[in-house]
Amino acid sequence: MDIKLIVKKVKENSPQADTELLELAFDFAKKAHQGQKRKNDEEYIQHSLHTAFLLAQIKADINTVIAGILHDVPEDTEFTLDDIEKNFGKDVASLVEGITKLSKIKYRGVERYRESLKKMFLAMARDIRVVLIKFCDRLHNLRTLDALPEAKRQRIAKETMEIYAPIAGLLGIWRLKWQMEDLCFKFTNPEEYQKLEYKYEVEKKTERNQYINRVKNILGLELKKADVPYTIEGRFKHLYSIYRKMKTKGKQFDEIQDVFALRVITDSVENCYQILGIIHAIWKPKPNRIKDYIALPKPNGYRSLHTTVFGVDGHATEFQIRTTEMDEEAHYGIAAHFHYKQKSGSENSLKQPQWIKEILSLQRANENTEDFIKQIKFDVFRDRIFVFSPKGDVFELPKGSTPIDFAYAVHSDVGNKAAGAIINDQISTLDHELQNGDAVEIIIEKNRKSPNRDWLKFVKTARAREKIKQNQPKSNFSSITKFLPRV
């Protein structure tokens, strides 16, 4: 890896970026790691450069790329964080400091595992860029895992599968998640990996390529006629996800891979819909398989149009249609999100997803690490839904949430005084499970003093649970609640 490639990549992402500091960081790190070698006998600086390049690939900002080059300096060399701050400023130094703290994470049994997860989440809440650096550092370590002793390889692979990959998915950085998973799969289950790789790369290859080319030709012709710009991709190798589907669904490789998938990328939202129309004019769509994630994005921000059609020879074919920007967001998740926000000139408008803010409040509410992790898994790792307030404000909640969870997400007063709910213009009970896209209105009882303790039986979010407990009447006259309307 050459520093010039990294400079080029950064310039590609943001042409106005001042890359001089980047080259200085390279000189500095090279000097600091002088004479150090990796286990595979490579110069140590190569690891720093690969980490930085991966960061540039996911469109991280220039300070993050610089911190990527410097990330192992305080830990492994005679230079300190102060040296870094003096030369590269506070922002870079604080990123490197974050990484140095995180590097103490090691998978050693369940207790340590929880501690690691907690550290990772907290680092994320403080500055998500630290975790991006950690991911790229890890990905390069996985690529060079061959050089390590077997026991250490297994430990790192396991830790990656349990901590790093799920968090990368949470942040929508699928590209990193999939690469990490496939690399780990190869180490933890070499036989299965090789079997699947053979099926994918050898047995199925010709059939897949021929089919995809036929579809490309037919569709390409129509898109040209309509004068719509496009590129079509037809290869998404992700062996671990195939393997997992085979396991959980008890199916064979051929059954999982029976739907051909293609991705059509274009320049504007209007053209996405036009392409959808063109595809449906050529092939009959399967009922109930048209998904408009552009009008209603997935809770993690994913946008695309999906449809499955009876394609050439009636063969089920799935299309994902999206713009270049959506495509990059789908690969790079939160990182690309920052990138586009910065591009539009509003550098300080970096909006963290709601759940990142929740992590900090969860930490305050849960002294005990085990509870903290349990709650995080529940609130964060679960699927999320979007619901709307009567004014059209969007609220993000874990799946399975009820109107009471919604009420407390709006405001504690709304929760404390909730008496009923209207969901999509229908009167509903307070324990009703909300669905993605529901419009929810809470009916308030102004004179109500405290929330109903029984709500604890069905609320899902930590925030609602905490507020209900907090706002219980302090006196012994708990019978008061009995006169209040029940759910």
Using CB atoms, what's the residue nearest to Mn ion? 137
CB of 72 to Mn ion, least distance (A): 5
Q: Judged by CB, which is closer to Mn ion: 52, or 440?
A: 52
CB of 47 to Mn ion, least distance (A): 6
Q: Judged by CB, which is closer to Mn ion: 21, or 102?
A: 102
CB of 142 to Mn ion, least distance (A): 12
Q: Judged by CB, which is closer to Mn ion: 138, or 331?
A: 138
CB of 250 to Mn ion, least distance (A): 40
Residues carrying an active site annotation: 75-76
Q: Judged by CB, which is closer to Mn ion: 95, or 223?
A: 95
Site of interaction with Mn ion (CB under 5 A): 72, 137
- 3-class secondary structure per residue, the chain: CCHHHHHHHHHHHCCCCCCHHHHHHHHHHHHHCCCCECCCCCEHHHHHHHHHHHHHHCCCCHHHHHHHHHCCHHHHCCCCHHHHHHHHHHHHHHHHHHHHHHCCCCCCHHHHHHHHHHHHHHHHHHCHHHHHHHHHHHHHHHHCHHHCCHHHHHHHHHHHHHHHHHHHHHCCCHHHHHHHHHHHHHHHCHHHHHHHHHHHHHHCHHHHHHHHHHHHHHHHHHHHHCCCCCEEECCCCCHHHHHHHHHHHCCCHHHHCCCEEEEEEECCHHHHHHHHHHHHHHCEECCCCCEECCCCCCCCCCCCEEEEEECHHHCEEEEEEEEHHHHHHHHHCHHHHHHHHHHCCCHHHCCCCHHHHHHHHHHHHCCCHHHHHHHHHHHHHCCEEEEECCCCCEEEEECCCCHHHHHHHHCHHHHHCEEEEEECCEEECCCCCCCCCCEEEEEECCCCCCCCHHHHHCCCCHHHHHHHHHCCCCCCCHHHHHHCCCC
CB of 48 to Mn ion, least distance (A): 7
Q: Judged by CB, which is closer to Mn ion: 72, or 358?
A: 72
